[in-house]
Chains A and B, each alone.
Chain A
């Protein structure tokens, strides 16, 4: 919390808490007896309430308090997490979200209605639970009080930033029996004091049954700058001063031991007095060591899992800088190879290695697991199922698949459309499903996985699939195809992505306005991806979205065609071979090459790009793979690999599909990046046109 509006920071943090709450609630719907989930929901509510009050969202805090107390009842086993309660909590969560994010909207009637229902539910449920469940709950309740030692000091400017340490202490006190000691040793002489500086440190001993995370949550809004250590102390009831001091790391065990050694050691004294056997003392000492080691280890662990929050635009800036660095590095490499001494070359190579590592690290910073996106859809499926009165479950896999953050954000809308479509059009009502011999509950599967340099995301449902007849009729009606045209399945289904195409018989508020699928297609294509729709072999529909891994930097193969230099994305390149004079002569136009006995068609880029220069005597063929097939691209020269910083082309060039962008080379000139897939598509279209013209 170095700078900025604290309320804004709270909003950001609260959004995460709300998401956490939503996940917990949705999971709770599936497994209502899971105590961890109840705890997780309760914690989220509690933190939202506590920090909301701290940042001036008093109304919201008061409202949240009621929901929190309901969950407190659940936690204590006095209430069950029944479906009506979870449904109410979900609605409450929406209200809380609205109260935090859109404080201007008046929710008071909604609030009141919800609280009324909640209190009805709590009193009714509470009665039944009292008679039934508590026996089982009492067994599983783990509420063992533990003693925590908390040591914290705030950043020097914390008071200026609006942090009130008293509130933090109060909140700690609310967690259990609590002893607070303020440490004044850091307060400077009066002359040096900044009036608003925060100089105090606090030592708090807290005995409570809440887990560590709850204590940490107290500090959630200050922990970035605060010096905070929380440790569990399990010293026996009446600790000795020496042990406590040692346990607090205030004084090293050695010092204490030396002092104690001035007198005979405690153990020896005990042994001499005949009270304890020497072995017992030995093992007790070993246990002490073990305890210390455990603490050190846990401290290490806490450190390694620490994360920081960074504004996205700083990441973008970092990416830009790295991009520029990569370009400069390409220049350095060129200089070194053309006129550098051995030492210069060595430095240049070292730089290249470091910069490519820096590039990779920077890229991974931007990568986010797609699970964060998938989890948002659970609520969507839940609500849609309720609105349409269909039972639908969402199954996800591949949540750990990582994608560039920008890509993930821009994937949200297209995927929402696809899921809506699946549930509205694909999945049938329960009665129809049962009649068709399926289970009453429909299933939407969301899968993500890597495939080469692409990420594949598929949305599958087990519904009624696509209706060929209706799509055909609709396409004819819209004039997309001539009446009676016979198209193969995949071409016919692609028509669904045309603007204004919708086969829904009636317009629902879920989908069916015909603005869905073309928006999906455009959204995906903006991300340089593709989208296909088809039937699943087992019935149902499958939509497959393919996306490039990143939008910023790729590895490329730099080639020359005539005067122009071009980059072919390296992940698509399989191999480079020489174009033998026989192959060269034998062919005109589109031709084939034999690669280890397999026929591979090749195209001459110099023909496509209308290069006026005569071809080099030894042309090369770059074999690229496109899904299952392979295509050769004939170039004049293969220059080498090139770290390619992708710069987009302006709108003036958006009609040229053969290039996905451009990059800047070491000598400052521009090279175009080939979009292999679109290039080949374009070649095929052209040859179709040529064939048509030849036929006429």
Chain B
């Protein structure tokens, strides 16, 4: 399986390479007031208005100021049955790598720092563990209605 490996905090995550459309350097970001924090911004990707999701927040990591390594991974995911283009804010993008399908293991119940529900499996590359994201699951949960206290 071909994956794109990326860094969040100090861990390596991976996305299936075939849903990735492009990788962008940081672009000007427009905040969407009162939107759920996870998707509180939009960006312009080749003339399209695309929601920007901060993956760190999905995993309960805190928001961090952007660095020169920060990238936006533009992917296409089905959201309630509609193919949607979404930008993912990640700390770092490494490379496209091959993970042997048989080296993939189920998500261990314990010993994982991050919410297991968004991880599809754990692959191994050399000595590193790579957590393959379950993108469908990440976007399956409808964003909650407007959080009034946020205003």
10 A-B contacts, Cβ less than 8 Å apart? Answer: A650-B50, A650-B51, A650-B86, A652-B51, A653-B39, A653-B51, A653-B143, A655-B143, A656-B32, A656-B146
Residues B44 and A664 in contact, CB atoms below 8 Å apart: yes
When the two chains form their complex, are residues B79 and A651 in contact, meaning their CB atoms are under 8 A apart? yes
Task: Report the minimum CB–CB distance from A553 to chain B (whole Å).
Answer: 14
**Taking beta carbons and an 8 Å cutoff, which residues of B are in contact with A?**
27-28, 30-36, 39, 42-44, 47-51, 53, 79-80, 82, 84-86, 139, 142-146, 148, 150-151
Bound CA–CA A337/B94 (angstroms): 42
Determine whether the beta carbon of B51 is less than 8 Å from that of A669.
Answer: no
A608 touching B151, Cβ below 8 Å? yes
Q: B85 to chain A: which residues have CB within 8 Å?
A: 650
How far in angstroms is the closest Cβ of chain A from B74?
13
Report the Cα distance A565→B29, complex, angstroms: 11
Say if the beta carbon of A686 comes within 8 Å of chain B: yes
CA distance A661 to B48 in the complex (A): 12
Interface centre among A609, A653, A659 (most CB of B within 10 A): A653
Chain A residue nearest to B150 (CB atoms) is A610
Check if A327 is an interface residue, CB within 8 A of chain B: yes
Q: Mark A595-615, 1 if CB is under 8 A from B, else 0.
A: 000000000000111110000
Q: A652 touching B49 by the CB < 8 A rule? A: no
Inter-chain contacts of A672 with B (CB < 8 A): 30, 32, 42
Interface size range of chain A in the complex: 35 or more
Please determine whether B42 and A649 come into contact, CB atoms closer than 8 angstroms.
yes
Given contacts A610-B33, A610-B150, A650-B84, contact A670 B44 (CB under 8 A): yes
Interface check A551, CB cutoff 8 A: no
B66 → A minimal CB distance (Å): 15
Asked if A662 and B49 sit within 8 Å, CB to CB, the answer is: yes
Choose from A664, A667, A689 the contact partner of B47 (Cβ within 8 Å): A664
What separation, in Å, do the CA atoms of A686 and B145 have in the docked complex? 13
Please name the residue on chain A nearest to B43 by beta carbon. A670
**Structural contact, A564 and B84, CB atoms closer than 8 A:** no
Q: Is A26 part of the binding interface, using a Cβ–Cβ cutoff of 8 Å?
A: no
User: Does A652 contact B79, Cβ atoms closer than 8 Å?
Assistant: yes
User: Digit string of A641-664 for contact with B (CB within 8 Å is 1, else 0)?
Assistant: 000000111111101111101111
From residue A662, how far is it (CB to closest CB) to chain B in Å?
A: 4
Query: Are the C-beta atoms of A651 and B80 separated by less than 8 Å?
Result: yes
Contact A324 B34 (CB under 8 A): no
Check if A430 is an interface residue, CB within 8 A of chain B: no
Contact (Cβ within 8 A) B151 A686:
yes
Q: Mark A375-394, 1 if CB is under 8 A from B, else 0.
A: 00000000000000000000
- Contacts known (A650-B79, A652-B86, A670-B44); A664 close to B28, Cβ less than 8 A: no
Complex interface: chain A residues within 8 A of B53 (CB): 652
Smallest beta-carbon distance A186→chain B, Å: 48
Contacts of B36 in A (CB 8 A): 655
Q: Is A671 located at the chain interface by the 8 A CB criterion?
A: yes
Inter-subunit contact A669/B148 (CB<8 Å): no
Does A668 reach chain B (CB closer than 8 Å)?
yes
Task: Determine the distance from Cα of A667 to Cα of B143 in the docked complex, in whole angstroms.
Answer: 30
Known contacts A650-B50, A656-B146; A609/B86 CB under 8 A: no
A662 to B86, CA, bound (A): 15
Binding site for B on A (CB under 8 A): 324, 327, 563-565, 607-611, 647-653, 655-659, 661-664, 667-672, 682, 686, 689
The verdict on A609 contacting B28 (CB below 8 Å), with A651-B82, A652-B51 known, is no
Residues of B within 8 A of A647 (CB): 48-49
In the assembled complex, the CB of B148 is this many whole angstroms from the nearest CB of chain A, namely: 6
Smallest beta-carbon distance A182→chain B, Å: 55
Q: Can you list the 9 inter-chain pairs with the closest CB atoms, starting with the nearest?
A: A609-B33, A670-B30, A647-B49, A662-B49, A669-B28, A652-B51, A652-B39, A651-B79, A650-B51
Q: Indicate which residue in A327, A610, A652, A663 contacts B151 across the interface (CB closer than 8 Å).
A: A610
Q: Contacts A327-B47, A610-B150 hold; do A656 and B30 have CB atoms under 8 A apart?
A: no
- Alpha-carbon gap, A591 to B53, bound state (A): 36
Chain A residues within an 8 Å CB radius of B42: 649, 653, 662, 670, 672
CB distance from B27 to the nearest CB of A (A): 8
Minimal beta-carbon separation of B52 from chain A (angstroms) = 10
Q: Assess A656 versus B34: contact at CB under 8 Å? Given A649-B51, A650-B86.
A: yes
Cα-based distance from A563 to B39 in the complex (angstroms) = 18
| Interchain CB contact under 8 A, B145 and A653 | no
Give the docked Cα–Cα distance between A171 and B130 (Å): 75
CA separation between A441 and B84, bound complex, in Å?
51
Q: A647-B48, A664-B47, A670-B49 are in contact. Are A652 and B84 (CB under 8 A)?
A: yes
> Which of B35, B79, B80 is packed against the most chain A CB atoms within 10 Å?
B35
User: How far is it, in angstroms, between the C-alpha of A208 and the C-alpha of B79 when the chains are bound?
Assistant: 64
User: Does B33 contact A686, Cβ atoms closer than 8 Å?
Assistant: no
Q: Is there an interface contact between A564 and B30, defined as CB atoms closer than 8 Å? A: yes
Q: How far, in whole Å, are A609 and B33 apart by their CA atoms in the complex?
A: 5
- Does A658 lie within 8 Å of B33, measured CB to CB? yes
| With known contacts A649-B49, A651-B82, A669-B28, A689–B44 Cβ distance under 8 A | no
7 new A-B contacts, CB < 8 A, other than A324-B47, A608-B33, A656-B35, are A564-B33, A649-B32, A651-B82, A653-B39, A670-B28, A670-B42, A670-B49
Bound Cα distance from A648 to B142, whole angstroms: 18
- Give the chain B neighbours of A609 by CB distance below 8 A: 33-34, 151
Q: Which single member of B30, B31, B143 contacts A652 (CB below 8 Å)?
A: B143
Residue of B nearest to A690 (CB): B148
Determine whether the beta carbon of B139 is less than 8 Å from that of A652: yes
Which residues on A sit within 8 Å (CB–CB) of B49? 647-649, 661-664, 670
Which residues in A have their C-beta under 8 angstroms from that of B151?
607-610, 686
Residue in B48, B85, B145 whose Cβ sees the most chain A Cβ within 10 Å: B48
**How far, in Å, is A695 (CB) from chain B's closest CB?**
17
- CB B60 to nearest CB in A, in angstroms, measures 19
Residues of A within 8 A of B148 (CB): 686, 689
Contact of A668 among B28, B34, B145 (CB under 8 A): B28
A667, closest chain B residue (CB) = B28
Could you tell me the distance between the alpha carbons of A327 and B49 in the complex, rounded to whole angstroms? Answer: 13
Docked Cα-Cα span, A672 to B39, in Å, equals 14
Question: Contact at A669–B44, with CB atoms within 8 Å?
Answer: yes
Contact A655 B145 (CB under 8 A): yes
B residues less than 8 Å from A668 (CB atoms): 27-28, 44
- A565 contact set on B, CB distance < 8 A: 30
A402 to nearest B CB, angstroms? 28
Q: Please measure, in the bound complex, the distance between the C-alpha atom of A670 and the C-alpha atom of B50, giving whole angstroms.
A: 9
Write out the residue numbers on chain B whose beta carbons fall within 8 Å of the beta carbon of A659.
32
